[in-house]
Amino acid sequence: MEKAALLTEFKTYAPHIDTAPLEKAYDFSKRAHANQERASGEHYFVHCEAVAQTLIEFKLDMPTICAALLHDVLEDTPITREQLASEFGEEVTLLVEGVTKLDALQFSSHDVAQAENWRKMLLATAQDIRVILIKMADRLHNMTTLNYLDREHQLRIAHETLSLYAPLAHRLGMFRLKGMLEDLAFQYMHPKEYEELERKVQEQTRGRDASLNAFKAVLDEHLSKMNIPIRVATRTKSLYSIYEKMQRQDKPFEDIQDALGVRLITDTIANCYALLGTVHTIFKPVSGSFTDYISVPKINLYQSLHTTIVSPLGDFIEIQIRTEEMHRTAEYGIAAHWRYKSSPSQKDVHLEEKLNWLRQWIEWLQDLKSPREFLESL
């Protein structure tokens, strides 16, 4: 994404923030990487743009976007820490430095050493979790350009992504990113299985459309009389998570029956409960299936109402009801807590939530006495 497009995207969620630093970081980094190329033969800076684009998609704050654009200048160009600090200030510099230190860590490829890898990574980023968010976006882009590397490198990086980055994304509640990283890694590690599963899932999705449409039609009819804004989204599992389940249960795809999953996304908490009432009035709920994660959020702040109903065609549909806000938290996890408020009167990033996360993170780190204990705590 070129500069103008990045600026436009950023302004959609932070219209009141001055974009001069973003423009400056863009030009600075582009100049610094001018003579470098990626394995793909593209200009190196394309990578920096892609990392910034992902973090803008996460709606992150200005220092994070600047640091994303600059994340490789200390490691790969003659630019010094001092230059960076005088041009962009301490906050951005500390973020870039954090990513650079993280890149210098040697992770062992042996599974027994995974816990130690985690510890290293977490300790390196404990000061500012935004470092790990930049690193995650960096890994995502490297995974999407893995086809330009040789087979040995592909396997090593894919393995590291599956064993280190995807579980970390899970722990941070970044489920969207986790699914993307897993499926990219899966594609390189087991290309045949990936392709086969992709085809089967597509077939299954087509088969489920009838059930979904019948459900929507009945729901729409009832909701048209009420004044509740609603967006219906189907829940898709990552191919890798299906593959994992097949391995774990030692069953073929046909025997792994996940119910059709649907999300009803609305504006307010009151409307979440109103929707729940409506759904339970129209469809028969499966007893014992209801859980209220709105009143009692999960530890990673996940909130939604869960219920399973019998569809008009007789099969089960798992329903999650949530607000747009809850949806963001569920998809982006910790990254959702560094966003800007949309209205100018609420300028600040959610400071309180941010601090809560940090506190949890640090407590978690302090609790870890040994790698073994650490692994168990996951």
Catalytic residue numbers? 75-76
Q: Could you tell me which stretch among 72-80, 173-181, 213-221, 369-377 binds Mn ion (CB under 5 A)?
A: 72-80
Closer by beta carbon to Mn ion, 69 or else 264: 69
Q: How far is the CB of 8 from Mn ion (least distance, A)?
A: 24
Mark 122-141 with x for binding to Mn ion (rule: CB under 5 A) and - for no binding.
Answer: ----------------x---
Is residue 183 a contact residue for Mn ion (CB under 5 A)? no
Q: Does 182 bind Mn ion (CB under 5 A)?
A: no
Rounded to a whole number of angstroms, the minimum distance from the CB of residue 180 to Mn ion is 17
Q: Which is nearer to Mn ion, 99 or 129 (CB)?
A: 99
Tell me how far CA of residue 63 lies from CA of 25, 36, 69, 250, 338, in angstroms.
10, 24, 10, 47, 11
User: Which burial class, exposed, middle or buried, applies to 290 when counting CB atoms under 10 A from its CB (0-12, 13-18, 19+)?
Assistant: middle
Give dist(CA 204, CA 246) in Å, integer: 16
- The span from the CA of 319 to the CA of 279, in Å, is 9
Helical spans, DSSP H, in 39-129: 45-57, 62-70, 73-76, 81-104, 114-125
Residue closer to Mn ion (CB basis): 52 or 169: 52
- Nearest distance from residue 58's CB to Mn ion, in Å? 17
Selected binder of Mn ion within 72, 160, 182, 183 (CB under 5 A): 72
Residue closer to Mn ion by CB (options 136, 197) is: 136
CB pairs under 8 A, 24+ apart, for 306-309? 307/276, 307/279, 307/280, 308/259, 309/279, 309/280, 309/283, 309/284, 309/285
Residue ranges of E strands in 159-259? 231-234
Binding track, positions 137-166, relative to Mn ion; x by CB under 5 A: -x----------------------------
Q: Which of residues 330-369 bind Mn ion (CB under 5 A)?
A: none
- Name the minimum Å distance from CB 336 to Mn ion: 23
Distance in Å, CB of 73 to Mn ion, minimum:
10
Binding residue count for Mn ion, defined by CB under 5 A: 2
> Cα–Cα distance between 66 and 93 in angstroms, integer?
10
Contacts of residue 280, Cβ cutoff 8 Å, sequence gap at least 6: 307, 309
Measuring CA to CA, which residue among 78, 66, 81 is closest to residue 14? 66
Which CB, 72 or 182, lies closer to Mn ion?
A: 72
Interface residues with Mn ion (CB under 5 A) are 72, 138
